[in-house]
Amino acid sequence: MVNQRVGAKGDRAGINARDATSGLDVSGVVRRLRRANDLSQRDLARAVGIDQSQIARIEASHRGIDVQLLANILEVGGMRLTIVDAHGVEITPVGHDVLRDNAGRRMPAHLDVLDPGELPYFALRGPRYDRAKPHARYHHRRARDQRRAEVGTGPSDDQPTRSGIAGVERAARAARLAEVRRRTSALLADDCTCVPGCWEHAGCAPSCGCRCGG
């Protein structure tokens, strides 16, 4: 639930329904919603669970409006709030299941968090044995900028999530299983004469005359 009330001048007083600097005409949007859905102020207020006078005040621009309240109003009319960048592309929030530190705290949002299996130089240079292995690590800003320049990544790359890592691991296990089944099927074929060394290669060993690809 969004409790913060963002004022047009940064005073946390709420989104003023008439303030042109906010770029959002809340009172006009609410009236548009009512017109598109054939709702009276009383109908809309009842659906949202507030008093009709609150809708009237919003439309009259007499007060600011809480972000969550605006989202609830829009939901009644089949609409929603969204954030877009300068090119009109919708911005999605950072996932709730991003990797956290051993105390359960989120990593700094502006830094790049490494996958659990990726060890930075400082961890290899000075391993710590007096504390539990961290769930994840991150580079500080200077090292982050250097790494971004070398790898060619940017701030648009999200921090890794538990669900994303689990998905990659599932895909890797499935690929390994498929490869084992393929090679087993090839070795069990009637016309297969693979030598034992084939098991040590991705395909037939150089000395194998079968050349079945197993």
- 1 pLDDT tier (thresholds 50, 70, 90): very low
Q: Answer with the residue of higher pLDDT: 54 or 20.
A: 54
153 Cβ contact list (under 8 Å, min separation 6) = 112, 147
Per-residue pLDDT at 201: 63
Per-residue pLDDT at 120: 67
Per-residue pLDDT at 48: 96
Overall pTM surpassing 0.75 (yes/no)? no
Domain 15-76, CATH number (from 3.10.580.10, 1.10.340.30, 1.20.120.160, 1.10.260.40): 1.10.260.40
Q: Does residue 57 surpass a pLDDT of 70?
A: yes
Average pLDDT over residues 49-73: 88
Q: Where are the domains of the chain?
A: 15-76, 95-159, 162-191
Q: Does residue 56 surpass a pLDDT of 80?
A: yes
Q: What is the 3-state secondary structure (H, E, C) of the chain?
A: CCCCCCCCCCCCCCEECCCHHHCCCHHHHHHHHHHHCCCCHHHHHHHHCCCHHHHHHHHCCCCEECHHHHHHHHHHCCCCCCCECCCCCECCCCCCCECECCCCCECCCCCCECCCCCCCHHHHHCCCCCCCCCCCCECCHHHHHHHHHHHCCCCCCCCCEHHHHHHHHHHHHHHHHHHHHHHHHHHHCCCCCCCHHHHHCCCCCCCCCCCCCC
- 64 pLDDT tier (thresholds 50, 70, 90): low
Q: Does residue 214 surpass a pLDDT of 60?
A: no
Q: How far apart are CA 133 and CA 35, in angstroms?
A: 58
